Amino acid sequence: MILYHGSNIVIDKILLSKGRHGKDFGRGFYLSADYMQAVRMSENVVRREGSGIPVVTKFEFDETSLDGFNVKQFDGYTEEWAKFVLANRKNRSDEQVHQYDIVIGPIADDAVGVQIRQLSRGFITFDKFLESIKYTSPTVQYFFGTERAIRLLKRI
């Protein structure tokens, strides 16, 4: 399968240390099978970083070669997914809150930080939190969180 990564630079070598803390599935390398989602992400990165140009790097991923990998797949916006995203979004340490090599599942809405604060302060219920963090146009994201996992990606 073909996956895309949006950034402000071409990705010649994946460096997990460049991943940001507090992302949906933890600190790692994120891709999408949706080219336009990667384009939007590249534009967001340029705005956030204030440098570079929007770039989408294309990778090939053989999803049939996952034997021996610890993979978690979420099949939608479930309570389990929301709790997983919440735990990862709150984590600012270099240690992951999970042991998965690869996580596949929906993207949370970009305003999830506001919703986490609302939940933490008791202003909204967990059910309201789950409903509010669903992305407006559901897109699946692919998280690669270990050196072993990123070796499954071939830049093309």
pLDDT tens string 68-104: 999 999 998 888 998 999 999 899 998 999 999 999 9
Lay out the sheet containing 55-61: strands in order across. Answer: 71-73, 102-106, 140-144, 29-32, 2-7, 55-61, 153-155
Tokens of 37: 């989602």
Q: 63 CB contacts (<8 Å, ≥6 apart)?
A: 1
Q: What is the pLDDT of residue 113?
A: 64
The domain of 90 spans 2-155
**Choice between 122 and 114, residue whose per-residue pLDDT is larger:** 122
Q: Which residues contact 1 (CB under 8 A, 6 or more apart)?
A: 33, 60, 61, 62, 63
pLDDT of residue 112: 64
Each residue of 18-30: pLDDT tens digit?
998 989 999 999 9
Opening angle at CA 62, ends 57 and 64, nearest 5: 155
Structural domain count, the chain:
1
Residue 3's pLDDT band (boundaries 50, 70, 90)?
Answer: very high
| pTM given for the model | 0.85
SS3 72: strand
